[in-house]
C-alpha cells in the first residue's frame, strides 16, 4: 500500500466516523508529516504501543 492509498482509507474512516472536513484536513496533514519522519516499522510499533497503553 502506498501513502495515497493509506490516506484514502483514513479519509473514508473520517467520513464514516462523522468527522468534519476540517478535522480530516488536520489528520491528512499530520499523516503526511509522519510519513516523512517515521519508518513504517516505527509507525506501527509506536502507534499501536500508544493505542494499547491506555494513555490518552
Residue-level pLDDT at 50:
94
Determine whether 15 is exposed, middle or buried from the number of CB atoms within 10 Å of its CB (0-12, 13-18, 19+). exposed
Tens digit of pLDDT at every position of the chain (56 positions):
999 999 999 999 999 999 999 999 999 999 999 999 999 999 999 999 999 997 77
Phi/psi for 7 (5° steps) reads -65, -40
Residue-level pLDDT at 54:
78
pTM equals 0.81
| Residue 28, C-beta contacts closer than 8 angstroms, at least 6 positions apart | 7, 10, 11
| Residue 14, C-beta contacts closer than 8 angstroms, at least 6 positions apart | 23, 24, 27
Residue-level pLDDT at 34:
97
- Would you report the helix, strand and coil content of the chain in percent, each value rounded to 5? 80, 0, 20
Residue-level pLDDT at 56:
73
Amino acid at each position: 500500500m502506498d501513502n495515497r492509498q493509506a490516506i484514502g482509507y483514513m479519509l473514508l474512516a473520517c467520513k464514516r466516523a462523522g468527522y468534519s472536513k476540517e478535522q480530516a484536513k488536520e489528520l491528512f496533514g499530520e499523516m503526511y508529516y509522519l510519513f516523512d519522519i517515521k519508518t513504517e516499522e516505527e509507525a506501527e510499533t509506536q502507534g499501536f504501543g500508544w493505542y494499547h497503553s491506555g494513555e490518552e
